[in-house]
Amino acid sequence: MANTHTSLTYRLLRKFGFNYSEEEYGNVSLWRVIKQFFGNIRRKRLEKMMDWAILDPFLPRKLRPKLLRKIGCKVGKNVFIGDYVRIDLQHANMIYIDDYAHITSGCRLLCHQRDLKNYRVGDNAALCGYRKGEIHIGKGVMVGMESTIMPGVTIGDGAIVGAGSLVVKDIPAWTVAMGVPAKVVKEIPQREETL
């Protein structure tokens, strides 16, 4: 028997095989689905433009940051975005990248993930709702290749994230963090004044 508390649109999506959580999409309207569908096409097209090889000399500091802004991210000045960087297209407005940050090749910035705090034996993980959180990347941050930044993370000014890291919690300013999950391995020292 169908749940009468869910929208007809949600029940149709489920019938067509879309495994959306009831918590997140139970009251979804047809208009929202249509709007999201065409918005996804637009955002995906802009994301694909970030990898156009013919524009490679202009992409890292000029076009990629501009494309991220069009997708919805808040991006400061003189930001470097490497090739094949992927963002959470549905929640791009939750991504903040400050001035002079470097997001190098192959990085992923995710603003939502399954909320498994109440997940139990016998449950269907695909039906769990989502936990969302903003990503804040501070001024002058360097994120190493193929790193993943998870929801709700703030990386402080001047921090460096080692290649291939999984950042699941905040990284303090002026530290070096690396690993899966990323942990601070070094504090960056103050520059000594010379006379």
Tens of each residue's pLDDT in the chain, 195 residues = 345 578 887 787 778 777 666 766 777 777 777 777 777 777 777 787 777 776 666 666 678 899 999 999 999 999 999 989 999 988 999 999 999 999 999 999 999 998 889 899 998 887 788 899 999 999 999 999 999 999 999 999 999 999 999 999 999 999 999 999 999 999 999 988 876
The token duo for 34 is: 């249509």
Give the other-Cβ count within 10 Å of 37's Cβ: 9
Would you say 110 and 148 are in contact if contact means Cβ atoms under 8 Å apart?
yes
DSSP one-letter string for 91-141: GGGGEEE-TT-EE-TT-EE-SEEE--TT--TT--GGGS-EEE--EEE-TT-
What CATH number was assigned to the domain covering residues 8-13+20-187? 2.160.10.10
Give the other-Cβ count within 10 Å of 189's Cβ: 7
Q: What is the pTM of this model?
A: 0.79
What residue ranges do the domains of the chain occupy?
A: 8-13+20-187
